[in-house]
Amino acid sequence: MGLFDKLKNLVSRKKEIKDAEEKEIVEDYDKGLKKTREEFVSKLNILGIKYTKVSEEYFEELEETLIMADIGVNTVMNFMDKLRKRVKSENITDTSYLKEVIVDELLIIYVEGESLSDKININNDGPTVILMVGVNGVGKTTTIAKLAYKYISEGKKVMMIAGDTFRAGAVEQLEIWANKTGSLFYGVEGSDPASVIYDGLLKAKNENVDIVLIDTAGRLQNKVNLMKELEKINKVIGTHINGAPHETLLVIDASTGQNGISQAKSFKEITNITGIVLTKLDGTAKGGIVLAIKEEVNLPVKFIGLGEKMTDLKPFDIENYIYGLFKDMV
């Protein structure tokens, strides 16, 4: 069975879901990817109407459509090479059939090669430490709040530690979110981030906390300084809790598109990123960035932001993503 046939089955299966919670998640993906789907899939459909036969003009417009969806120039070029070869070897002339092949090849980008786990690595022996990194303005603090809300809703005891100690208002802002979500909090404005985290983790262990969410500075202008700071932080965390941090999640604003990919590459150079949190996916037509992240930086997307509500941060699910992106094509 080809991937497009699997997509057809997936769409019909998702439409028949009875479980209320699962149905709500599918609907959230559907709504959250609406802008990307309308922009991207409608252009693919229009291409199929404009050109009934495969031609160089068709390929050129397709290439432009894919780049506009922020799948990434390198990813698109590799994709177009594969598509042209497949068209030639299978002697494909009909654009309506080629549309199925396009979806097939786009899905292969994500599922091919190394399997990336979108699950969070939970520590069964003491607190699970999740280090949050990312440039300022991407929604890092609100993402921490949404993660706290998620884990508290699951019955976990959560603590936030303010490791961004020098940005004006950062400690206070995180404390406000801690109070709003019912999380424990530790932070000291103007202190050395590593020593704040050290003291915060002592408190977390004494309080038998399940999940520790650590905020960090978002200064990427001087990579060397940030690298040193993160190295020091990682060392402190590791001396306190064996194997920690269990996750280092990079927060990226989906609407920044290729700039977000550049951030991922930069952060990957300076620290051990284990996954991506993609915020503001509902407000952009650049949902193709998920494919670019896989192809260009080979990091799993672990959570996606599909709205402003506390419940709108969802664990990433490739099936729901594929459904939300391509459901109008079948």
| pLDDT greater than 80 at residue 112 | no
pLDDT digits (tens, 9 = 90+) for 121-137: 999 888 999 999 999 88
- Type of residue numbered 285: A
Q: How far is CA 179 from CA 185, 187, 270, in A?
A: 8, 13, 32
> What's the whole-number mean pLDDT along residues 238-248?
93
Report the DSSP pairing between strands 301-305 and 313-315. Answer: antiparallel
Cβ-contact 187, 159 below 8 angstroms: no
For 127, which DSSP code?
A: P
| pLDDT greater than 70 at residue 113 | no
Q: What is the pLDDT of residue 155?
A: 97
Looking at the DSSP assignment, which residues form a beta bridge with residue 278?
Answer: 252, 304
Burial 247-256 (b: 16+ CB within 10 A, else e): bbbbbbbbbb
- What distance in Å separates the CA atoms of residue 204 and residue 315, rounded to the nearest whole number? 25
Q: What is the pLDDT of residue 1?
A: 47
Q: What is the pTM of this model?
A: 0.90
Q: What is the pLDDT of residue 5?
A: 74
Instruction: Give the confidence band of 286 by pLDDT, cuts at 50, 70, 90.
Output: confident
> What's the whole-number mean pLDDT along residues 152-159?
97
List the single range of 85-99, 113-127, 141-155 with lowest mean pLDDT: 113-127
Highest mean pLDDT among 50-64, 85-99, 171-185, 216-230: 171-185
Q: What is the pLDDT of residue 6?
A: 66
Choose between 327 and 148: higher pLDDT: 148
| pLDDT greater than 60 at residue 114 | no
Instruction: Give the confidence band of 74 by pLDDT, cuts at 50, 70, 90.
Output: confident
CA nearest 15: which of 7, 4, 23? 23
Neighbours of 157 (CB within 10 A): 17
> What's the whole-number mean pLDDT along residues 75-101?
91
Cβ-contact 145, 41 below 8 angstroms: no
Instruction: Give the confidence band of 328 by pLDDT, cuts at 50, 70, 90.
Output: confident
**With DSSP H G I counted as helix, E B as strand and the rest as coil, what are the percentages for the chain, rounded to 5?**
60, 10, 30
* Six-digit token string for 99: 């549309």
Highest mean pLDDT among 18-22, 78-82, 110-114, 320-324: 78-82
Q: Which residues contact 295 (CB under 8 A, 6 or more apart)?
A: 72, 74, 75, 78, 109
Mean of the per-residue pLDDT values for the chain?
90
* Six-digit token string for 67: 């780049």
- What distance in Å separates the CA atoms of residue 62 and residue 43, rounded to the nearest whole number? 9
* Six-digit token string for 327: 């459901």
Q: Which residues contact 279 (CB under 8 A, 6 or more apart)?
A: 138, 139, 142, 143, 251, 252, 253, 254, 304, 305
Q: Which domains does the chain have, with CATH numbers?
A: 3-111 (1.20.120.140), 128-317 (3.40.50.300)
- Sign of the C-alpha dihedral computed for residues 195, 197, 201 and 207 taken in this order: positive
In the chain, % of residues over pLDDT 70: 96
Instruction: Give the confidence band of 9 by pLDDT, cuts at 50, 70, 90.
Output: confident
Q: What is the pLDDT of residue 18?
A: 76
In the chain, % of residues over pLDDT 90: 57
Q: What is the pLDDT of residue 287?
A: 84
> Which stretch of DSSP H or E encloses residue 240?
helix 223-240
Cβ-contact 218, 193 below 8 angstroms: no
Q: Which residues contact 163 (CB under 8 A, 6 or more apart)?
A: 193, 196, 197, 214, 215, 216, 217, 233
> What's the whole-number mean pLDDT along residues 24-31?
88
- What distance in Å separates the CA atoms of residue 222 and residue 226, rounded to the nearest whole number? 6
Q: How far is CA 42 from CA 39, 293, 294, 317, 328, in A?
A: 6, 23, 24, 23, 9
Q: How far is CA 221 from CA 135, 136, 251, 263, in A?
A: 9, 11, 17, 11
| pLDDT greater than 90 at residue 177 | yes
CA nearest 40: which of 260, 288, 296? 288
